[in-house]
């Protein structure tokens, strides 16, 4: 008599994916850890950002520019911009991948997300460098 029990170890992963240890999309773990790393970096960087903004409050424009021109302040702001925009891009990518089901709309949304993150990062970095380096940039 044949055994008609169904296999309870059914998986959606391909044999190649099981061998390589990859998930359904092949990059989920990397995004997960990058998201956590940027989140951990954002905590002290945002604290530094708030302190810098508080120090500039009610100061004359030349003093605020002098503070922004300090190398440590500029470096902290640059690191914050890079970390925050990377975190934002990955977070929105996860939302798009989870909730946008039309393939064309998903692709366009992911492209728009990447362009937006890059534009925000470049604009912020340009502003920081412009102020930090004076009229050289």
Where do the domains of the chain lie? 27-136
- pLDDT tens digits, residue range 78-91? 999 999 999 999 99
Instruction: Compute the chain's Rg from CA coordinates.
Output: 23
**Is the pLDDT at 5 greater than 90, yes or no?**
no
**Axis-axis angle for helices 28-56, 61-69 (nearest 10):** 140
**Rounded distance between C-alpha atoms, residue 81 and residue 67, angstroms:** 17
Show the tokens assigned to 48.
């530094």
DSSP letter at 8 equals S
Q: Which CATH number fits domain 27-136: 1.20.1300.10, 1.10.3720.10, 3.10.20.70, 3.60.110.10?
A: 1.20.1300.10
Show the tokens assigned to 50.
């708030």
- pLDDT tens digits, residue range 16-62? 666 665 555 556 678 789 999 999 999 999 999 999 999 999 999 99
- pLDDT tens digits, residue range 84-116? 999 999 999 999 999 999 999 999 999 999 999
């Amino acid at each position: 008599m044949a055994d008609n029990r169904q296999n309870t170890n059914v998986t959606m992963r391909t044999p190649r994916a099981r061998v390589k240890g990859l998930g359904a999309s092949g990059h989920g773990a990397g995004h997960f850890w990058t998201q956590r790393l940027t989140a951990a970096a954002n905590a002290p960087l945002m604290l530094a950002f708030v302190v810098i903004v508080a120090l500039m409050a009610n100061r004359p424009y030349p003093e605020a520019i002098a503070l922004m021109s300090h190398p440590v302040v500029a470096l902290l702001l640059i690191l914050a911009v890079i970390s925050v925009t990377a975190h934002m891009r990955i977070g929105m990518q996860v939302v798009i991948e989870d909730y946008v089901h039309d393939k064309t709309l998903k692709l366009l949304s992911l492209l728009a997300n990447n362009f937006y993150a890059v534009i925000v990062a470049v604009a912020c970095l340009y502003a920081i460098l412009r102020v930090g380096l004076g009229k050289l940039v």
